[in-house]
Amino acid sequence: MQWTSVIAIYALLWVLAAFLVMPFGLRTSDEVEGHTVEKGHADSAPVNFRPRRIAFRATILSAVMMFAFYLNYVNGWVDVQDLNFYGSPPIKSMGY
């Protein structure tokens, strides 16, 4: 596997991991006592949004996912043929 492929796959996994860990630990104004929602803000907006914590969690999760992906790449546990759930396509006759 080329190093550029590793970087591209890791970047994709990092974005996926960021979206996966983003909702954990967030609190809305309804869950925090004494917090008032300012005019123009959504009631569902998070009160304690911490992008550094999300980036840290996403980095850890994406490193684990990249390690699992690389182990699968080296050992060949799951192959493209394993993901073919519909079987081989039917052979169409040419009508001759």
Residue 13: both structure tokens together:
């996994």
- The pLDDT confidence band at residue 96, using thresholds 50, 70 and 90, is low
Amino acid at 94: M
Average pLDDT, integer, range 15-34:
89
User: Each residue of 38-92: pLDDT tens digit?
Assistant: 888 888 888 888 999 999 999 999 999 999 999 999 999 998 888 888 877 767 7
User: What distance in Å separates the CA atoms of residue 5 and residue 9, rounded to the nearest whole number?
Assistant: 6
The verdict on pTM exceeding 0.75 is yes
User: What distance in Å separates the CA atoms of residue 25 and residue 55, rounded to the nearest whole number?
Assistant: 13
Report the range out of 3-12, 22-31, 32-41, 77-86 with the highest average pLDDT: 3-12
pLDDT value, residue 5: 95
**CB 66: neighbour CB atoms within 10 A?**
18
Quick check: helix, strand or coil at residue 88? coil
